[in-house]
C-alpha cells in the first residue's frame, strides 16, 4: 500500500510502505507520488530484496534515476539504506529486471517518506519561492544568512516522556483479524507516536498484513508483513496521534501460529507549537504564551 501524503495531517510524519512486487524488464512501478501540494515529501530510506538480476530506480521531480542501484549490492531487505531525497512535486520508485531475465516475482521493496508542509526554513533550503510574509520572517530570524553560515537549526523532533516496546506472539484462525496487543491511547494533552514496527514473515506474500488506524483516519497504512524486516531489525517510522493508534493483524485466508510482532511507541506532551501547526484547540492562557513568545511566527519560520 502506497503512502498517501494528504493523510499526514499531524505533520511532520514519517510513514512507510512495504510491498512485494514482480520485477519486469520495463520496470514495475512500486510507488508514484504527485499532486500532494501544499505538502513536500522526502525519501528517508529504501530497502529491497537482493537479487542478481534486479535494479531499483528512483526519479525525483522529473529527474530520472537519481538513484539507480543493483539490488545485489544493497543490504538485504531487513536493513534499510538511509537516504535524504526531497521531492517537491513528484517521486517515482521502480524495480526492473535485467534484459533477458523476464519477470522476477516475490521482490520486496520498502520505503519511508517524511511528509510535511514546508516552513520558511525548508522553502529556503529547497529553493522554493517565498511569499512576502515569509520574506519578512526570513529577515526577522536571519534564516537565509544562518543557513549559509551553517549555524541554523531546523525546528524538528520530540522530547518523549516515555518510549515503550510491545512484543507479542499471535495465534489466530483465518479471518480472525485480531488487534495487536491493545489500542494505544493518548491521554488529555498528550500524543502517542508509533516509532517502529517489525514482524515475522508468513510463508507467502499478500497473505498477512498489519493495518494502522490513527484517530479518525482508518487504514492510513497497510503493510504486507512479508515485506517488513524480521524481528532482528525494526522499520523506523513516526506516526503521531492525538487520540488513538490501533494496529490490526489482517489474516483473511491464512491461519497464523505464534506470529511475532514488535512495535515501539513514544508518549509526549503536545507542545504549543504542535497545537498551532495541527490547528488544535488552544486555551486562553496558552494563547497568552503564544503571543508573548511569538510562536506562530516560529512555526511558520520552522526554526528555533
d(CA 131, CA 119): 11
Residues 195 and 288 in one domain: no
Largest Cα separation within the chain, whole Å, is: 68
- DSSP codes of every residue in 261-296: EEEEEEEEEPPHHHHHHTT----HHHHHHHHHHTHH
pTM of the predicted structure, to 2 decimals: 0.91
* Closest by Cα among 239, 162, 170 to 7: 239
- pLDDT digits 0-9 by tens, 60-77: 999 999 999 999 999 999
pLDDT at position 235 is 95
- pLDDT digits 0-9 by tens, 234-254: 999 999 999 999 999 999 999
pLDDT at position 80 is 95
pLDDT at position 205 is 95
| CATH at 167 | 2.60.120.290
Residues 213 and 140 in one domain: no
Residues 142 and 231 in one domain: no
- C-alpha cell recorded at residue 302: 520552522
Residues 33 and 98 in one domain: yes
pLDDT at position 2 is 81
Residues 213 and 236 in one domain: yes
Cis ω for the linkage preceding 137 (within 30 of 0):
no
Task: Give residue 7's pLDDT band: very low, low, confident or very high (50, 70, 90).
Answer: confident
Q: Residues 140, 298: contact at Cβ < 8 Å?
A: no
Residues paired with residue 260 on neighbouring β-strands, in sequence order = 169
- pLDDT digits 0-9 by tens, 169-202: 999 999 999 999 999 999 999 999 999 999 999 9
Length of the chain: 304
Residues 51 and 34 in one domain: yes
| CATH at 88 | 2.60.120
Residues paired with residue 214 on neighbouring β-strands, in sequence order = 217, 245
d(CA 38, CA 122): 13
d(CA 44, CA 54): 21
d(CA 246, CA 184): 6
DSSP state of 186: P
Residues 71 and 147 in one domain: no
d(CA 90, CA 61): 5
Q: Angle at Cα 203 formed by Cα 254 and Cα 31, nearest 5°?
A: 95
d(CA 232, CA 199): 9
- pLDDT digits 0-9 by tens, 246-304: 999 999 999 999 999 999 999 999 999 999 999 999 999 999 999 999 999 999 999 87
Give burial (CB, 10 Å; 0-12/13-18/19+) of 284. Answer: exposed
- C-alpha cell recorded at residue 9: 495531517
Domain limits at 287? Answer: 120-153+271-301
Residues 20 and 79 in one domain: yes
Residues 111 and 74 in one domain: yes
Residues 112 and 124 in one domain: no
Residues 18 and 79 in one domain: yes
Task: Give residue 11's pLDDT band: very low, low, confident or very high (50, 70, 90).
Answer: very high
For 31, residues 6+ apart whose C-beta sits below 8 A from its C-beta are 2, 3, 17, 19, 91, 92, 93, 111
Number of domains in the chain: 3
Place of cell 531489525: 233
Residues 64 and 212 in one domain: no
For 67, residues 6+ apart whose C-beta sits below 8 A from its C-beta are 46, 56, 57, 58, 83, 85
Amino acid at each position: 500500500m502506497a503512502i498517501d501524503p494528504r493523510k499526514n495531517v499531524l505533520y511532520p510524519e514519517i510513514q512507510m510502505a512495504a510491498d512485494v512486487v514482480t520485477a519486469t524488464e520495463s520496470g514495475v512501478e512500486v510507488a508514484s507520488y504527485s499532486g500532494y501540494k501544499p505538502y513536500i515529501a522526502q525519501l528517508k530510506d529504501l530497502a529491497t530484496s537482493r537479487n542478481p538480476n534486479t535494479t531499483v530506480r528512483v526519479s525525483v521531480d522529473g529527474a530520472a534515476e537519481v538513484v539507480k542501484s543493483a539490488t545485489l549490492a544493497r543490504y538485504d531487505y531487513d536493513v534499510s539504506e538511509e537516504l535524504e531525497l526531497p521531492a517537491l512535486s513528484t517521486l517515482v520508485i521502480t524495480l526492473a529486471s535485467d534484459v533477458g531475465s523476464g519477470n522476477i516475482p516475490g521482490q520486496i521493496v520498502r520505503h519511508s517518506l517524511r511528509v510535511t508542509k514546508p516552513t520558511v526554513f525548508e522553502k529556503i533550503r529547497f529553493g522554493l519561492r517565498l511569499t512576502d510574509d515569509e520574506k519578512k520572517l526570513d529577515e526577522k530570524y536571519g534564516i537565509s544568512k544562518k543557513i549559509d553560515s551553517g549555524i541554523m537549526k531546523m525546528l524538528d523532533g520530540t522530547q518523549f516522556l516515555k518510549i515503550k516496546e510491545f512484543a507479542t506472539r499471535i495465534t489466530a484462525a483465518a479471518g480472525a483479524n485480531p488487534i495487536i496487543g491493545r489500542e494505544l491511547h493518548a491521554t488529555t494533552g498528550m500524543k502517542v507516536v508509533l516509532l517502529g514496527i517489525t514482524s515475522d514473515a508468513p510463508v507467502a506474500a499478500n497473505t498477512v498484513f498489519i493495518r494502522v488506524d490513527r484517530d479518525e483516519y482508518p487504514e492510513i497504512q497497510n503493510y504486507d508483513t512479508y515485506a517488513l524486516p524480521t524481528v532482528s531489525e525494526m522499520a523506523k517510522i513516526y506516526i503521531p496521534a492525538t487520540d488513538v493508534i490501533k494496529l490490526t493483524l489482517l489474516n483473511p485466508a491464512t491461519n497464523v501460529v505464534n506470529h511475532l510482532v514488535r512495535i515501539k511507541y513514544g508518549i509526549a506532551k503536545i507542545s504549543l507549537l504542535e497545537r498551532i501547526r495541527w490547528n488544535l484547540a488552544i486555551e486562553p492562557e496558552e494563547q497568552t504564551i503564544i503571543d508573548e513568545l511569538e510562536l506562530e511566527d516560529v512555526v511558520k519560520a520552522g526554526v528555533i
